[in-house]
Homo-oligomer: A and B are copies of this chain.
Amino acid sequence: MDLIEATYIVTRPDREPEALAEAIAREQSLEIVRELIPESIAASHLGRVLAVEALDEERYSLRIGYPAHLASAQVGQLLHLLFGNVSFYPRVRLVDLALPDSLLSALPGPRHGLEGIRKAVGVDQRALLMTVLKPRGSSPEFLADLALRFARGGGDIVKDDQNIVEQDLDTFRRRVGACARAIEQAAQSTGRRCLYLPHVAGSGDHMERQLDIVASLDLPGVVTCSWVMGLETAANATRRRQLMWLSHPAMAGVFTESSEHGVATNLLLGTLTRLAGADLSIFPGRGGRIQSGVDDERATCTALTTSLGNLRPTLPCLGGGKRLDQLVETAERLGPDLAVVVGGDLLSCGENLEAATCQALQDLQCATRDV
């Protein structure tokens, strides 16, 4: 039977590691006392312990196999299977994951992915530059002007700040429409179209109507705060309209920040976000205002881009307050399959935003040549 292999590290386990592994295997698959599981259901549905290994005096690695059909070919259910109730167990962290081909081929994965984005912006090789429209409270004209100058400078991708949220659709349409026109205006003069990704929030009809507006403006995609909206909800809503989907990590730090608990960054904002179908995934990485906790940014880049069934690669995006002076070093460190999100530091250039964008792109071009 096809298994999902999940590896947890437990620190200072509250019982014998083998017993804890059995408990997790049962909790996450059938959540019922062993005596009440008929053998036929145990054979087909019960999680099983594959390996228990001491790592040091405090830590143990527990490898557990879950029957793959328990994920029900749904990203949400996969998350639930891997870290639902066990999230309440002390000091348990999911650190590794191997999925069978049967499940990989049943999950959506990116519709456009890294290559689709490269094609859309017309950049084959170098690392991409992304900026952010903010602050909330600004007029549509102010934000559109930022977008215009970034796009005129040759910037690749501009997204709405995820703090920008409208309660009424007319305000949303006005703001997003103004930015879309600015991008179009820049494209007329540069001959190249910057990708503009508005932020869509909320739920139900309100969320759907925002996506309709984005699609009606012929915009390529959107940003969602997927860990607020629900990863699968965001995936489903954007996919139905064939929009590019940028997944923002707001609130995901509750999974990743502790070294002893939660889910490793490379799995959460890497593998799982890619499986859900994000075309772009923002994560903190090194440097800047927000940094990843204990997991390596390279592992997250790898999870987003390495071979994974037939799934397209997702574009890794380093966010969290990266600065212009970190661009070259970041691109040299991580290679060209990357976007660096520079928000405040680029917007601080004021009148020189267009020139600063142009310079930043030249820097990224050089960094790529140097690699």
Instruction: Report the bound CA distance from A221 to B132 in whole Å.
Output: 41
With a cutoff of 8 Å between Cβ atoms, the chain B residues found around residue A85 in the complex are 250, 253, 290, 320
A176 to chain B, nearest CB (A): 16
With a cutoff of 8 Å between Cβ atoms, the chain B residues found around residue A292 in the complex are 88
A31, CB-defined interface residue at 8 Å? yes
A257, CB-defined interface residue at 8 Å? yes
Which of A69-77, A113-121, A331-339, A355-363 makes up part of the contact surface? A69-77
A201, CB-defined interface residue at 8 Å? yes
A247 to chain B, nearest CB (A): 13
Task: Evaluate whether A254 and B87 lie within 8 angstroms (CB atoms) in the complex, with A33-B348, A163-B29, A233-B230 already known.
Answer: yes
Instruction: Report the bound CA distance from A137 to B230 in whole Å.
Output: 26
A19, CB-defined interface residue at 8 Å? no
Q: List the number of copies, as a whole number.
A: 2
Query: Which range contains the number of A residues in contact with the other chain?
Result: 35 or more
Instruction: Report the bound CA distance from A293 to B258 in whole Å.
Output: 15
Q: Which residue of B lies closest to A37 (CB)?
A: B135
Q: Could you show 24 A-B contacts with beta carbons less than 8 Å apart?
A: A31-B134, A31-B135, A36-B344, A36-B348, A40-B137, A45-B136, A72-B202, A74-B165, A74-B167, A74-B202, A76-B225, A76-B228, A76-B229, A79-B251, A80-B162, A80-B225, A84-B251, A88-B253, A88-B284, A88-B320, A204-B240, A229-B230, A229-B232, A254-B255
